[in-house]
Structure 1
Amino acid sequence: MKKYFGNYDKTISEVSAVFCLIFVAVTMVKPIGVQKVFNSIFRFFISNFGWYYLLCGIIFLIVCFTLAFSKYGEMRLGKDDEKPEFSLFSWFSMLFSAGMGIGLVFWGVAEPIYHFAGPPFAEPGTAAAAVEAMRYSFFHWGLHPWASYGVVALCLAYFQFRKDMPGLISSTLLPVLGEKGMKGPTGKAVDTFTIIVSLFGIATSLGLGAMTITTGLNFVYDIPNTVTTSIVVIAVITVMFIISAVTGVEKGIKWLSNINMSLALMLMAFLFLSGPTRFIINIMIESIGSYAQNILWMSFFLDTQGVVAEHTGYDWVGTWTIFYWAWWITWVPFVGSFLARISRGRTIREFVLGVLVAPTLLSCIWFAILGGSAMHIEMFGTGGITEAAHTELTSAIFTMFTHFPMTGLLSVLTMIIVAIFFVTSADSSTYVISMMTSSGNLNPSSGLRVFWGIISGGIGVALVLAGGLSAVQAVSFALTFPFAFLMLIMIYCLYQSLREEKAINDETIVSAQDTGQI
């Protein structure tokens, strides 16, 4: 076993694997019962602790920007003389692919169209509804989710590369737990819990990717949109991301991310130039202004008086904003760990601006081009996209392509982009889980990566078979409640360590000045 898996942590690996296998087994045997139980748990947290998720979201955002423009901003995530390992384009491509790739393709048309047809405040189908739809799409995919990734990545990168600690969540709790607690049962429990949250988070991604590709195959090649097709898709993609994982970050993930970013930019450029260009520019600028003007209000809005619920007919804030804030946290452990891994050598300020501002701007452009084109078709064209989105979410983007030239080529290109995003997301999560189960080793064994790759693919197949995607989402949201609290503790520990290091450095400088050394 050691020859195949390398130096892995037996306790953390076995407990994590057994927990996931038990969940999958129970889900397959009693899928309906599991869905009911976990949906009840999810509704309980959303109904009673929506305020908690909103407060955590704004705290993470404030912390990131405060650190970036504070006296700690020039501090490197590594030694003082270290330089970044990856070029700016490769770094950005990898962080964007791991963080949001599949979701952006899945929701790029569907979310703006949903809000356009049922906005929280405006009248459906109006110009005001279009701006409102875009504003909330920017909000849900902008600064807040990237701040969630950013705080965890900052904590991990700082303790891992500056303090020479293992790349584990437990390492970030050193100021609270101490070395004994970090290496003891408490530290192992934290790391095991982190791996479980990561596995459930990537399962959601596997489901979204498989459904999108299956729908695309049905549109272009008339391949049946069935469970069997989705299983075949997951199996093929699993083999691909295992191969990529084995080749390492420097080759597999880096190359695929660079290729996919180029393809995504090509798709955006074609839709922008062949679509309603002026409308896209206008709604993007107007919506960015609306987003900037309302971000503080939206960050705290809970619809206490039920105005939006009455207008839309359902708990809009809970279904969308709080749903998203909880969902992003399921991705935080593996995306944050991966971002930390690829960000060695960058300053805290450079990291925050790169991880928060740049992806947010690209997400705004993405939604403006795809969502703006779709809404223009609904307002001034023949429509049909809203109906398609309400019938089958994954069909929204492919239905929109029927209003563009080269429909088939666009659909195939989108499936390729989704497939590569699929691979890079699963690849990065497999790498991170392998790293966490091998005591933070930056180069975990190939055998361990293959093992967790098979586990991830198996969970995806089991969930498709059992129809349990909604169940795994629900349990993921329940798990994010304690993990968000853990993130707050991590922030406290980071501030404590930064203050101590700054104090020691200042004392050293003063001492050197007194002795005439500088």
Structure 2
Amino acid sequence: MSKNTDKNLSEEIEQLEEDYETDYRIGQDNIQWLGLDLHNPVFIVSAVLILAFVMIALIAPEASNERLTGIRVWIGETFDWLFLSAGSFFVLFCLLLIVMPFGKIRIGGEDARPDFSYFAWFSMLFAAGMGIGLMFWSVAEPVGYFTEWAGTPLNTEGGNARAALGATMYHWGFHPWAIYGVVALALAFFSYNKGLPLTIRSTFYPLLGERVWGPIGHVIDTVAVLSTLFGLVTSLGLGAQQAASGMAFLFDIPGGQLTQIIIIAGVTSVALISVLRGIDGGVKVLSNLNMVLAGVLLLFVIIAGGLMAFFANFGTTVAGYAQYMLPLSNPIGREDDVFYHSWTIFFWAWWISWSPFVGMFIGRVSRGRTIREFLIAVLLVPVVVTTVWMTAFGGGGIGQVVDQVGELADGISDSSLALFQMLDNMPFTAVTSFLGITTVLVFFITSSDSGSLVIDSITSGGKTDAPTSQRVFWVIIEGVLAAVLLSLGGTASLNALQAGAVSSGLPFTILLLLICVSLWIGLSHERKVMSLQDQHQS
């Protein structure tokens, strides 16, 4: 290579690298207050809006719930086509990135190496993404479709195990993980490869340039904070209700508000300890524990339910998912209104509203992986685990209905009890049910912990080393809000907050589509830089 050519390549590489140089410094807009390092105005605006929302939910819980639920329903019915089409687009987009040359790009640069082992990494992905949801819905949802309690997919007749298990997998399979994967990859790439702050606004830098550090970026990050906090608070409150119901069902412990608040206090206390220990000593340890507990419970259900029955149900689940995935992805001419809007559209809006939280956490712990490795892991590993899980629990629950065994045979009266009702008809009920409750609570702790890390990063302007007291602050806020809403406003207040979080799925759907465009531009830029560097070295 001639000296002139070498010089030209060096200049071209430097010019390309300047495209992502910015005058913005992480924390330059921050304010220091009581030992906290907070981004102005994201923290202030978020705090005011959170306080106002909670006050309204407490003053008029029923009216707030009715109004916000109405808004959520209207959004779901008006933009159902957008949610469904966008969900399928995200799956295709992720699959395209896997097979494209972009897949060779390593998050953090060529010299970056993973911070966590595969087991620890998978455990954190799963725990943050949907571990608690699988505990709650793995029996109730497929049994609900099978018995027509929850409506039936595509107006299939009740008693169709393939449709019930296939539709359940549709909600918990590739689509939600593709949503999380897009956000996680964009955040990790622009932070670790381009040196931008670890915050949602950074993913729009190729489209907006320096304007992402202004009002537009403030709005994006504020919506992300509200969506994440509302989702965590409602999950914590409703999860406490599920755990309390399980204790009442199994051990005759009163499942009222006092028990629920004690559970919230316990979860918050352990989450505080986890936060103080950091990702390595906290979230990673709890996530690994989660996987062990869940694995033991899963193995027991498979053996107790019969290996032959499990393998037969596994084939039914896989066949049902393959058969119904494309028809369920079609938004045109749908007449299964109860299933379509009450389940699919609700789930899609919920996954999207949670994508800033889950996506940022997954992105934060994925440095050192290639894009191909990252997306294959995020898409395939959880789907395989979920298929096994739904087969064991959902197939087992359907089997009890078919055999007219236990309370499930009479129909689902309370979805939070479905898991425990199924375990009640297996050996060692007290032990396995206690294990189930423990797993639920540990999943909530990891959600609270990882969610606090995410909110902390956004409200500190993208810092990953903000004061520990700041993460402690967010853990306490989540617990206090959940306890206050539950004790003063009851389930109506929590449902209102949940409806608000789900409603944020509409603007985030549009933002996610733009993130895909921005990510494609960023990856193309990185690929060009890498190609020129290879030429320069050769």
State the TM bucket, normalised to the shorter chain. over 0.9
Deviations along 1:449-479, one digit per CA (max 9) or x if unpaired, are 1111122112212332312222122112221
SS at match of 1:86: coil
Distance 1:507 1:250 in 2: 37
Tell me which moved more, 295-304 or 472-481: 295-304
Contact 2:37 2:470 in 1 (8 A): no
Aligned 8 A contact 1:106 1:208 in 2: no
Question: Per-residue displacement from partner, 1:15-41 (whole Å, max 9, x unpaired)?
Answer: 112211111111111011101111111
Among 147, 156, 176, the alignment partner of 1:122 is 156
Normalised by the size of structure 1, how large is the TM-score?
Answer: 0.94
Aligned to 2:513: 488
2:59 alignment partner, one of 29, 32, 55: 29
* Corresponding residue SS for 2:107: coil
> CA separation in 2, counterparts of 1:246 and 1:508?
42
AA partner of residue 103 (structure 1):
G
Question: In structure 1, what is the Cα distance between the partners aligned to 2:506 and 2:178?
Answer: 17
Kept after mapping to 2: 8 A contact 1:54/1:300: yes
Displacement of 1:6 in angstroms is 4.1
Structure 1 position 298, deviation (Å): 1.5
Asked if 1:215 is matched to 2:238, the reply is no
Give the 3 Å change call, closer, same or farther, for CA 423–302 of structure 1 in structure 2: farther
Corresponding residue for residue 140 of structure 1: 171
Aligned to 2:329: 299
Candidates 474, 478, 482, aligned match of 1:452: 474
User: How far apart, in 2, do the equivalents of 1:282 and 1:258 lie?
Assistant: 30
Q: CA deviation at 1:508?
A: 4.1
Instruction: Label 1:454 to 1:406 Cα distance change in 2 as closer, same or farther (>3 A).
Output: same
Corresponding position: 1:415 with 2:437: yes
Aligned equivalent of 1:395, options 406, 411, 417: 417
Deviations 1:356-412 (A, max 9, x none): 1100111111111011111111102424215462x2211111111111111000111
Alpha-carbon distance, 1:50 to partner: 0.3
Aligned twin of 1:156: 187
Q: CA deviation at 1:231?
A: 1.6
Unaligned 5+ residue runs, structure 2?
1-30
- Show structure 1 runs of 4+ deviating over 4 A: none
Tell me how far 1:257 sits from its aligned partner: 0.6
Contact 1:110 1:397 (8 Å CA) reproduced: yes
Q: Distance in 2 between matches of 1:454 and 1:387?
A: 41
Letter in 2 for 1:142: G
CA contact (8 A) 2:199 2:458 kept: yes
Equivalent position to 1:475, from 493, 500, 506:
500
Superposition deviation, residue 421 in structure 1: 0.2
- What is the distance in 1 between the residues matched to 2:417 and 2:483? 21
2:156 and 2:207 map into 1 onto residues whose CA distance is 48
Q: Give deviations 1:82-108, integer Å, cap 9, x for gaps.
A: 111000000000110011111110101
* 1:317-349 deviation line (CA, Å, top 9, x unaligned): 001111110111121111000000000010001
Counterpart residue number, 1:317: 340
| Residue 186 (structure 1) shift | 1.6
Match of 2:207 among 169, 176, 181: 176
Alignment coverage as a number of residue pairs? 501
Shift of 1:505: 2.9
2:512 alignment partner AA: M
Q: Which residue is 2:38 aligned to?
A: 8
Aligned with 2:461 (options 430, 439, 460): 439
The more displaced of 235-244 and 463-472 is 463-472
Q: Secondary structure at the match of 1:7?
A: strand
Structure 2 counterpart SS, 1:111: helix
* Cα gap change, 1:187 to 1:386, in 2 (>3 Å): farther
Task: Specify which of 424, 435, 447 is matched with residue 446 of structure 2.
Answer: 424
- Give the stretch that moved more between structures: 211-220 or 380-389: 380-389
Change (3 A) 1:427 1:302: farther
8 Å CA contact 1:102–1:208 kept in 2: the answer is no
Preserved contact between residue 161 and residue 316 of structure 2 (Cα < 8 Å): no
CA pair 365-326 structure 1, distance change in 2 beyond 3 A: same
**Is the Cα–Cα contact under 8 Å of residues 271 and 370 in structure 1 kept in the other structure?**
yes
Q: Distance in 2 between matches of 1:332 and 1:460?
A: 21
- Cα distance in structure 1, aligned partners of 2:516 and 2:139: 35
Paired residues of 1:24 and 1:462 also in contact (CA < 8 A): no
Point out the more displaced range, 200-209 or 379-388: 379-388
Q: In structure 1, give the amino acid aligned to 2:351.
A: W
**2:169–2:390 Cα contact (<8 Å) kept:** yes
Inter-CA distance 463–296: structure 2 relative to 1 (3 Å threshold): same
User: Structure 1: how far apart are the matches of 2:61 and 2:484?
Assistant: 10
Q: CA deviation digits over 1:38-69, x for unaligned, max 9?
A: 11111111111100100110111111111111
Contact 1:57 1:144 in 2 (8 A): yes
Aligned to 2:140: 110
- Aligned equivalents of 2:73, 2:398: Cα separation in 1: 31
- Partner amino acid, structure 1, of 2:456: S
Cα distance in 2 between the residues matched to 1:290 and 1:392: 26
Indicate the residue corresponding to 2:20 in structure 1.
none
Report the CA distance between 1:3 and its aligned residue: 7.0
Shift of 1:210: 0.8
Contact 1:6 1:448 in 2 (8 A): yes
Shift of 1:8: 2.1
Q: Among 487, 491, 499, which residue is 2:524 paired with?
A: 499
Counterpart of 2:369 (choices 320, 340, 346) is 346
Looking at structure 2, the residues matched to 289 and 178 of structure 1 have their Cα atoms a distance apart, in angstroms, of 46
After TM superposition, the structure 1 = structure 2 runs for residues 64-83 of structure 1, keeping only pairs within 5 Å, are 64-83=94-113
5 Å matches for 1:168-317? 168-179=199-210, 181-301=211-331, 303-304=333-334, 306=335, 308-309=336-337, 315-317=338-340
Corresponding residue of 2:126: 96
Q: Is the 8 A contact 1:197 1:479 kept in 2?
A: yes
Shift of 1:222: 1.0
Distance change in 2, residues 1:316/1:3 (3 Å): closer
Is contact 2:402-2:409 (8 Å) kept? Answer: no
RMSD, aligned CA: 1.6
Deviation larger for 25-34 or 284-293 = 284-293
Contact 1:9/1:438 (CA < 8 Å) preserved in 2?
A: yes
- When structure 1 is superposed on structure 2, of 362-371 and 198-207 the one drifting more is 198-207
Structure-1 residue corresponding to 2:10: none
Report how far residue 4 of structure 1 moved: 4.7
Identity of aligned residues (%): 38
Preserved contact between residue 172 and residue 490 of structure 1 (Cα < 8 Å): yes
Cross-structure match for 1:312: none
Counterpart in 1 of 2:396? 373
Residues 195-244 of structure 1, C-alpha deviation per residue, up to 9 Å, x if partnerless? 11111121232133212210121123211121222122112111111221
